[in-house]
Amino acid sequence: GAGVSQSPSNKVTEKGKDVELRCDPISGHTALYWYRQSLGQGLEFLIYFQGNSAPDKSGLPSDRFSAERTGGSVSTLTIQRTQQEDSAVYLCASSSGTRLVSDEQYFGPGTRLTVT
Amino acid sequence: QQQVKQSPQSLIVQKGGISIINCAYENTAFDYFPWYQQFPGKGPALLIAIRPDVSEKKEGRFTISFNKSAKQFSLHIMDSQPGDSATYFCAASMRDSGNTPLVFGKGTRLSVIA
């Protein structure tokens, strides 16, 4: 079946502009995660949605970052007033939301954001 | 505070050799330890994962060794092949606490040379 998809694959924006990144999770997956991967760094957790529960926003680096998940499916990560330090690959992952060892997070290909 | 420390940053191994990547964690509440493989331009993909109730898990050429008392775990790739050249990330989470997000190490870039 289809995996996690993200759009756009690449985004170049000017400093100060707002950007929206989209994630389409695997159908039926109740858990959705956003991570950020900077050059030479590991993946940094940003925000986590699980079903209808309030999202875990503890990883968002500033109030310029926000995310929504509409209808328990598609998610949009919004970065307002982008800064050069926001340049990174933004990865989305989804999982079935169980606690089984077999419940893995499936990652999308990411959106490479470049702020000039 | 980096909760999962990974080493080495980069590794070069001869074809047919053993690749070993190490990780150490701090939070004793972690109960799920996966390894991810990432090729350039792609998202990470789960390679193998372990829970702390076992000390070793093997899947094909890939083995996780887990030392709970030392709070360390490692990935061994036997008979390394050029196709294994990728970046490997260890991670940890608290699965029993409700599927918390993964905490990742900074990655190891593996190059397998013929």
CATH number of residue B86's parent domain: 2.60.40.10
Distance from CA of B106 to the nearest CA of A (A): 4
8 A C-beta contact, residue B92 and residue B30? yes
Q: How confident is the model at residue B99 (pLDDT cuts 50, 70, 90)?
A: low
Mean per-residue pLDDT, A17-28 = 96
Domain residue limits at B86:
4-113
Which has the minimum average pLDDT: A72-76, A100-104, B17-21, B28-32?
Answer: A100-104
CA distance B29 to A22: 32
Q: How many CB atoms lie within 10 A of CB A46?
A: 22
**pLDDT tens column, A45-67:** 999 998 888 899 999 999 999 99
Please tell me what DSSP assigns to residue A85. Answer: G
- The rounded distance, in Å, linking the Cα atoms of A54 and B40 is 34
Task: Write the residue in B34, B41, B107 that is nearest to A42 by C-beta.
Answer: B107
The three-class DSSP label of residue A86 is: helix
List chain B residues with CB under 8 Å of A93: 43
Q: How far is the C-alpha of A48 from the C-alpha of B99, rounded, in Å?
A: 10
Q: pLDDT confidence of A99, banded at 50, 70, 90? A: low
Number of domains in chain B: 1
Phi, psi of B83 (to 5 degrees): -70, -10
A39 confidence band (pLDDT: 50, 70, 90):
confident
CA distance B6 to chain A (A): 10
Contacts of B7 in chain A (CB under 8 A): none
Rounded to the nearest angstrom, the minimum Cα separation between B104 and chain A is: 6
Quickly count: other Cβ atoms within 10 Å of residue B58's Cβ: 12
Using 50, 70 and 90 to split pLDDT, how confident is the model at B30? very high
Residue B61 CA to residue B106 CA, distance in Å, equals 23
Q: How far apart are CA A72 and CA A65, in angstroms?
A: 20
Q: Is the CATH code 2.60.40.10 the one for domain A5-97?
A: yes
- Mutate which of A24, A26, A105, A107 to test chain B, going by most B C-beta atoms within 10 A? A105
What is the rounded distance in angstroms from the CA atom of residue A5 to the CA atom of residue B20? 32
